[in-house]
Structure 1
Amino acid sequence: MAPSGHLPDLESLALLVEVSHCGSIGAAARAVGVSQQAASERLAGVERQVGVALLQRGACGTRLTAAGTVVVEWASRLLQVAEEVDASLTALRAERDRELHLLASMTVAEHLLPRWLVAFRRSEEAARRTAPSVSLQATNSTGVLRGVAAGEADLGFVEGAERPAQLASAEVGQDELVLVVAPGDPLARRRTPLAPAQVAALALTSRERGSGTREVVEQALAAHGLTAAPAAVEVSTSAGVRETVRAGGAPAFLSRRAVEADLRTGALVQVRTSGLALTRTLRAVWVGSAQPPAGPVRDLLAVVARTP
C-alpha cells in the first residue's frame, strides 16, 4: 500500500530528529549541511504536511511539542530501517561489481567473447579497477533470451534476424552465414550459385531449434515461400556442425567467422547461394531500461563497441 501524502521525506525527518538532538534549528541546520533559513522552511513544510505542530520555537531555542516527540520517535525507527536498507543496497552493488554472469549464443561464445573479455580485463586494469570474475555459459539464442529474462545472467549475446521484444538490447555487430561442404562433396565442384529452391531441397547438417543460425536460414527461405527440408542431422554446437561437415557429412550453414580458417586451408569449401538474406545481427540483451546497467555490464559493452 502506498503511503499517504502526510509522510515527509527521509531528509526532512532526519532534520527534525537533529533538532531534537541539538535543541535549535540553527545547530540542526549545521549538522545536516544546510542554511538555517532552508532548515526553517523545510521544517515548516513538514508541519504543514503532517497537519500538526511539531516544534515550539522560543528565544532560548526550539523544543518539541508532545506530537513532535512522538513523531521523532517514529522517524528515528524509520531512519534506522532506511539506513539498513541503504547499506544492503550498497552491498548488492558491490556484489554486482565483483561478478559478471554472461550467457551467449555459440557463435559469439566461441569466436568473439574470448577477444572481448581479454580487452575488457585490460581496460579494467588500465582504469585501476579490479576486474570482476566472469562466468560464461554458451547456449542457443532462445536459451540466452530465456536465461537473461529469468535473471540467470547479467548480460546475454544473441544472433538472429529480429530484435527481441521482451528485453532491452543493443546491436554489437553483423555476421554472415555461408554454406560449406567437405572438399569431396559434389557441391564443392559447383560453379554456379544455388537458388533458394535448391537450398531448401538440401538435407543439411543443422543446429537445433532455437539456434540463431537455424532461425536466419529458415527465415531466408520463408521469404521465398520455401520450407527447409528435414535436417540430415542436428548438432547442438557450431563446432560440432563444422566437424561433422569436415568429416564428410551433409552441407551446413555456418558463421563465416567459424569457418574462415578452414576455407583458407581448403578443409571446407564454400558453396555460393543467390537470393538469400543470410546476414544476421549480433545483439547484447539485458533486463531493464534502454541504458545498460551501470558497472561491469556497461563497461563490457563499451569495450565490445570499440573492439573489432
Structure 2
Amino acid sequence: MLDHQLRVFVTVAEKKNFSRAAEVLNLTQPAISQHIHALEEHYRARLFDRSNKKVELTQAGAILYSYAKKILNLHQEAERAVTDLIELVTGKIAVGASMTIGEYVLPRLLGAFAQKYPDVELAMTIGNTAMVFEQTLEGSIDIGLVEGPVEHAHLQVEPFLTDEMVLIVSPGHPLAGKSHATGEDLEPCTVILREEGSGTRVAAENALRQLEVIPSRIIVMGSTQAIKQAVEAGLGISFLSKWTIRKELALGTIKPVRLKDINITREFKIIRNRTRFQSRACDEFARFITSEEVIAALQARA
C-alpha cells in the first residue's frame, strides 16, 4: 500500500496538479487526495502547498520526493531480479534515443525485437543526446542510444552502428551540379544546424572543422525534419545522417553532394548505467541490436 501511495505522491509532485495526476494514474481526484492525506498522516508533515492552479512541494515533501524516487526504482529493480530468476525474457525496458536514431532507426529495431520477445513491454523516449545522457544517468531509462559523444564514469558505452553524414542541398543550389565540393565551396553558404546538445550538431561542426570552413551564416533548428524542409526550400545547406534522407533522395527534393577527399562518419552508441541493476530483458535487447544479423539488415536498408 505504501508503495502505491508513494507512486501517487511522486506523480502529483511531478505533474504539480491533482487532476493531471489522477488522469495519468487512472484514479479519481478524491482518491488521489486520500492517498496524499494518508501519507501526510503517516509522516506527520504537510507535503504540499496547495493553490487553485497547482501544488508545490513543501520542504518535507521535497525530502520525501528524493527518497520516494529511490524506493520506487529499487522496487522496480527487485521485480526485474525476481523475474530473471525464472529465466523468462519478460518485463519492461525503457529505451531512450537521440533524435536521428529514435525517429529513423529505433522503430525498426523495436519491431524486430518485439517479434522475437513478445512478452517484453517496450517504452521509448526521444530527445537529443544530452537529454538521453542525463536520463540514463538518473535511471529513468534503462538503455540509451545516442549519436553524440558521451563519457561518464558511471556509463558503459558501446558502439553498435556506423553512420555517415551527408552534405545536402536543394536541387536548385549551385552545389547541386558539382560532383565534389571543397571547403572553399562551402564558405559563402548558409549552414543549417541542430540545437546545442544534439549529436547531429556535433557531427556537423566536426565536418566543418575538418573542411576548415567558417560559414558566412548559421541557422539553428530544433528538428531534423525542419532542417530538411529548410534545405528543400533553398534556405541553406546542411549535414544530416544518411538514415534521415532516404525518402527525400528518392523523391529528388534534396541532392547529396560528395566532399572532396573526406568522408564524415560517426558511431551510434549504446549507453547503460553500470551502477544500476540491468534485467535480463535489457541484456537481451543490447545483444540483439548489436548482433551481426540485425546490423547487416539495417545497413542493407540504408
Q: TM-score, normalised by structure 1?
A: 0.62
**1:243 is matched by which residue type in structure 2?**
Q
SS of residue paired to 2:147:
strand
Deviation for aligned residue 1:87? 9.3
**1:138 is matched by which residue type in structure 2?**
I
> What does the per-residue CA deviation read over 1:176-216, in whole Å, with 9 as the maximum and x for residues that have no partner?
1111112122221234x222343354321211111111111
Q: Work out which of the residue numbers 247, 256, 260 in structure 2 matches 1:270.
A: 256
Contact 2:189–2:216 (Cα < 8 Å) also in 1? yes
SS of residue paired to 2:245:
helix
Q: Work out which of the residue numbers 293, 296, 300 in structure 1 matches 2:281.
A: 296
The answer to whether residue 81 in structure 2 is matched with residue 93 in structure 1 is yes
Q: Work out which of the residue numbers 119, 123, 133 in structure 2 matches 1:145.
A: 133
Which residue is 1:195 aligned to?
Answer: 182
Contact 2:80–2:279 (Cα < 8 Å) also in 1? no
Q: Work out which of the residue numbers 199, 214, 229 in structure 2 matches 1:212.
A: 199
Q: Distance in 1 between matches of 2:209 and 2:272?
A: 29
- 1:1-308 to 2 correspondence within 5 Å? 90-91=78-79, 93=81, 98-125=91-118, 130-132=119-121, 134-160=122-148, 162=149, 164-166=151-153, 167-191=155-179, 193-223=180-210, 226-231=213-218, 233-288=219-274, 293-306=278-291, 307=294, 308=297
> What does the per-residue CA deviation read over 1:155-187, in whole Å, with 9 as the maximum and x for residues that have no partner?
111113x45344211111011111111212222
**1:296 is matched by which residue type in structure 2?**
A
- Equivalenced residue count is 214
SS of residue paired to 1:137:
strand
> Identity percentage over the alignment?
24
Q: Distance in 2 between matches of 1:142 and 1:221?
A: 21
Q: Distance in 2 between matches of 1:111 and 1:89?
A: 30
Deviation for aligned residue 1:242? 1.3
SS of residue paired to 1:209:
coil
* Distance 1:120-1:187 versus aligned 2 partners, 3 A rule: same
Q: Distance in 2 between matches of 1:111 and 1:293?
A: 26
**2:229 is matched by which residue type in structure 1?**
E
* Distance 1:223-1:89 versus aligned 2 partners, 3 A rule: closer
Q: Distance in 1 between matches of 2:214 and 2:233?
A: 27
Contact 2:183–2:212 (Cα < 8 Å) also in 1? no
* Distance 1:180-1:224 versus aligned 2 partners, 3 A rule: closer
> What RMSD over aligned residues (CA atoms) do the two structures have, in Å?
2.8
| Structure 1: runs of 5 or more not aligned | 1-85
Deviation for aligned residue 1:116? 0.5
Contact 1:176–1:278 (Cα < 8 Å) also in 2? yes
SS of residue paired to 1:204:
strand
* Distance 1:108-1:292 versus aligned 2 partners, 3 A rule: farther
Q: Distance in 2 between matches of 1:251 and 1:301?
A: 35
**2:182 is matched by which residue type in structure 1?**
A
Q: Distance in 1 between matches of 2:189 and 2:207?
A: 14
Deviation for aligned residue 1:303? 1.8
Q: TM-score, normalised by structure 2?
A: 0.63
Contact 2:168–2:257 (Cα < 8 Å) also in 1? yes
**1:169 is matched by which residue type in structure 2?**
V
Q: Distance in 2 between matches of 1:298 and 1:187?
A: 46
